[in-house]
Copies of this chain bind each other. A is one copy, B any other.
Amino acid sequence: MQSKNTKTYTIREVSALFHLPASTLRYYEETGILPAVPKTSGRRIYSQLHMDRLYAIECFKNTGMSIARIKDFFTYEETMETNIDNMLSLLSNQKIILEEKLSNLQNSYKHIQCKLEYYSAVKKAVDDKRTIPDWNEFFCK
């Protein structure tokens, strides 16, 4: 999880790399999901540790985890010896949620795809002054 990389980043660079406004980076730090960023004359200097953490945060956010749950995870991670079971149950729970999410998303994708095909056909029919096709021929085909 760690790296020997000593490269550092300004808030502006991190902001650009993760497509997150500076205010959000400060907010993440405030909530504790991002560890305290050391400062040089008041300015934040991010290290690889923070970059890795931000990557993990983005992952967890993608899966729909709340800030509070993300915080729980990192807290468990820091005290691994006593909390490994908590981490494992949090992760496997999240995995199940994620599997359901993926399956829903794939269904929704098909649905949008169907609608797109249907309305493209409708548009063509209108342009060609033909009769408008029937949705049932497109739906779940």
What residues of chain B lie closer than 8 Å to A27, measured between beta carbons? none
Given contacts A105-B102, A106-B102, contact A63 B112 (CB under 8 A): yes
Minimum Cβ distance to chain B for residue A119 (Å) = 5
Interface 9-residue window, one of A6-14, A15-23, A36-44, A54-62: A54-62
Annotate A74-90 by CB proximity to B: 1 below 8 A, 0 otherwise.
00000011001101100
Instruction: Name, among A63, A91, A104, A107, the residue most crowded by chain B CB atoms within 10 Å (CB to CB).
Output: A91
CA of A107 to CA of B63 in the docked complex: distance in angstroms?
10
A123 at interface (Cβ–Cβ under 8 A)?
Answer: yes
Q: How large is the interface on A (under 10, 10 to 19, 20 to 34, 35 or more residues)?
A: 35 or more
* A69 CB-CB contact with B under 8 Å: no
- Min CB gap A48→B, angstroms: 13
CB neighbours (8 Å) of A88 from chain B are 116, 119-120, 123
The 8 closest A-B pairs by CB, nearest first: A62-B108, A59-B108, A1-B135, A59-B111, A91-B116, A62-B104, A63-B108, A84-B123
